[in-house]
Amino acid sequence: MDSIEAARLPPGNDAAAGEPAFPSQSAQAGQTLGLSVILMAATLLAFALGAAIRRHIHAAIYPTAVAAAIAAGCALLLLIAAELRRRRRGRTRLMLGVSAQTWTFAGILLLFLEFYTMTLGGATPFYEPAAQAAAFLHGHSWVDVPGYMEQVGPICNVNLPIARRLPECSFTRYGNHTFLVHPPLAAIVMMPVVALHGGVVDGADRYQPEVCAVLGAIAVALAWRLLVIMGMSASACLWLTAFFGVGTTIWYEATLGSSWDFVLVVSLIPTLLALAELFGKARPWLVAVFAGLAALGRNDLVLAWPAYALLLMVRGRRMRDLFAMLPGFAMAGAVYGIFNYTRYGTFFDQSLWLWYRCCDGGGFRSNPAIPGPFSPHFLPTNLYTVLFLGWGFNATAFPWIRPQGAGQALVLTSPAFILALRPSLKRAAPVLIWLAAILTMGASLTVYASGFVQFGPRYYVQIFPFLLVLVALGVGAGKRVDQLTKILILASMFIVVFGVWQIRTIGFG
């Protein structure tokens, strides 16, 4: 569709609540059993190739990869048997009451689950979400983690002498406890996994990346579902899903699984669900629940809430319907506020401010005239990072062009995102999607750090779902992707594969 307005709901029409999860317009996406069979077969091929490569380099094969292959094999046999039975008898019950669209969704999920787990980067020393999850399971919010992790607490006074002279850095008023700086959703997601491991973080450096790969695969499958709900053609769904899962740094983040990467990947899932609800049934209460969860993953996603409300109005919801959003937003605010109160005795988050002033030697100490972590002073550096920062060059060593540790500009990592400029700004929907993306970028554009060591502009991964919607709106519902789109997607996939390969084998340039 050219905009959400193409699927405008009549004001106050509750019949929309009875629409199927995949609207009838998505039938044009050509989601047949044949496509599901191809996806399941591709999953088995990915397992075979990945296992051979990992054995060759003496790397472990993760249990999740084996489970995905087994599930794909069983599904493949079932689908083939179902098709043969249908041809003989005209009908079959071997589909288990599951639609072809849902089988395709499962195929996308298993394929990317296989791909991500086979390309995992290994253990990570940064497992803050698992550590916070263990703390929650033991009934408190403070943690006991190694000093190299991002934390606020007494260790800051040891590592940064200036902290001893700042009143706000006297951590005796926080019970001499240590707290992590990330919002709580990532830890909440990790709680069942940590509980299965005995409620301790021993081994979290190994299993947290695997969980992150699973979440990344779920995000890609949800991107596919979002595109289907938008009424994209089969080819467009395949091309744009491939771009989202391979042609962006989501692949790198999902297969690294460190603290910051995990938090970003977690935040993608509720955002994709919120956008799918906007293009589907457009139930305000459910959009708010998903938007609230996204903000608990990355707190700057709270800035997209006004755009969600306006988008619902574009879909035909009246102002009074938007009051149904309040419980979802209140739920997120209550969870975050209680989490903060257990740490700092206030409902407002103090973590990043305390980290900046008390713990980060490159922050307050280097520029004491700027009292907090957010300031227009940092805007030029962050704009340069996201828009212009190029790749490195080494004239003496192959392959000469290297990814820089400081990152690369968005369009120099995933050039297909430039297609987000295609939708007409004369229509309300693209304008509001851009508003959501820009508002969500606001905090990252004014923060004192541009992302530290990263591939691409890490701090902007949370806006990728909004940009994907804009790219899809530029393609149009039911239309095949044009040659320019294919070229830019293939270029994006090549660049990301090239970058991930270099980082994993050579390192940053």
Of the CA atoms within 13 Å of residue 274, those in its CB half-sphere come to 33
Q: Which helix (H) or strand (E) holds 445?
A: helix 428-446
What's the pLDDT score for residue 111?
Answer: 98
What's the pLDDT score for residue 17?
Answer: 39
Of the CA atoms within 13 Å of residue 34, those in its CB half-sphere come to 3
CB 219 within 8 A of CB 16: no
Share of the chain above pLDDT 70, in %: 91
Segments in 32-120 forming alpha helices (H): 33-56, 63-89, 100-118
Domain boundaries, the chain: 119-505
How far apart CA 478 and CA 205 sit, in angstroms, is 44
What's the pLDDT score for residue 25?
Answer: 40
What's the pLDDT score for residue 80?
Answer: 87
* Residue 345 structure tokens: 């005795």
Q: CA dihedral defined by 6, 10, 12, 17, rounded to 10 degrees?
A: -60
Residue ranges in the chain whose pLDDT is less than 50: 1-3, 11-30
What's the pLDDT score for residue 449?
Answer: 87
How far apart CA 160 and CA 366 sit, in angstroms, is 12
What's the pLDDT score for residue 12?
Answer: 41
CB 450 within 8 A of CB 406: yes
Helix/strand/coil for 263: helix
The three state secondary structure string of 219-234 is: HHHHHHHHHHHCCCCH
pLDDT tens, residue by residue, 332-382: 999 999 999 999 999 999 999 999 888 887 776 667 778 889 999 999 999
